[in-house]
Structure 1
Amino acid sequence: MQGEKKGFWLYDLKVETVLADRPAVCRHIEGDSFRVEGEALVFEAGQRVSMYALAALLPLLPAKQRETSEADWMSTDAEIACPDPHCGGRFRVTRTGKRWFGHAETTGLPEARGTPYWQGDGKE
């Protein structure tokens, strides 16, 4: 069972482009999106994100995946502005589900290492 094994929960995320009161200067298309599942960024066919915007988003995504206090801004604030100060594009980050990751499946420590989670059979 998950409670008996060492591990942790991560939220799956959806990151979606939203446009508001100012025009997008960068290549932002309303509704373009990708998912974050564990450590993977998952893009559907035809979905794109500016690499500059992605560079600004990446440091925040692992924090959005983790449990936080309901009063923490990471729990309440869902939109991240494009890093270009002249651009009106934003990125809405939504928690969509949770996944369990066992310590042995994710660690690099030789004495604690097991089968990597992406190579396992998906069973506890």
Structure 2
Amino acid sequence: MAEKSEEAGFWLYDLRVETVLDGRTPVCLHVEGESFRVIGENLVFERDQKVSMYALAGLLPLLPAKQRETAPGDWMSTDAEVACPDPHCGGRFRIVREDRRWFSHAETTGLPDARGTPYWQEQE
């Protein structure tokens, strides 16, 4: 396999999305400390962890952008909390970048001429 620097591909951050209240009163059923992770394209929930589907709908458009490399001064690099979409709710969601993971283009594309073995079928 070619070195990552030579192979066509990209880095994505794994993310942890955690519910934070910081003393604010939630209207929705947000529980301080509940979280899920974003690993590649997958949302990964631990047992009994949950998030409101309305809050998730507000978070989803931001997650792929938060996974990407951004300039240090870009707000996507510096701002980590997203408010619940209910304007009366005190719930917030902290998005934390964790490890970076390499994805090769051939493992993630649907283009027939560029396809390799999907990343989720690769053996580590």
**What TM-score bracket applies, with the shorter chain setting the length?**
over 0.9
- Identify which of 74, 93, 101 aligns with 2:103: 101
The 10-residue stretch of structure 1 (15-24 or 75-84) with the greater mean CA deviation from structure 2: 15-24
Structure 2, unaligned stretches of length 5 or more? Answer: none
Task: Name the TM-score, length of structure 1 as normaliser.
Answer: 0.96
User: Percent same amino acid among aligned pairs?
Assistant: 73
Question: 1:1-124 residue pairs with structure 2 within 5 A?
Answer: 1-122=3-124
Query: Aligned to 1:118, what secondary structure does the other structure show?
Result: helix
User: Residue by residue, what CA displacement relative to the aligned partner does 1:57-101 show, whole Å, maximum 9, x if unpaired?
Assistant: 000000000000000000000000000000000000000110000
The count of corresponding residues between Structure 1 and Structure 2 is 122
- Once residues 22 and 49 of structure 1 are traced to their aligned partners in structure 2, the CA distance between those partners, rounded to angstroms, is 17
- Once residues 29 and 36 of structure 1 are traced to their aligned partners in structure 2, the CA distance between those partners, rounded to angstroms, is 19
1:21 deviates by 4.5
Partner AA of 1:65 in structure 2: Q
Partner AA of 2:64 in structure 1: P
Task: Name the TM-score, length of structure 2 as normaliser.
Answer: 0.96
- Once residues 24 and 64 of structure 2 are traced to their aligned partners in structure 1, the CA distance between those partners, rounded to angstroms, is 28
The 10-residue stretch of structure 1 (19-28 or 89-98) with the greater mean CA deviation from structure 2: 19-28
Q: Which runs of 4+ in 1 moved over 4 A?
A: none
Q: CA RMSD in A?
A: 0.7
Partner AA of 2:38 in structure 1: V
Structure 1, unaligned stretches of length 5 or more? Answer: none
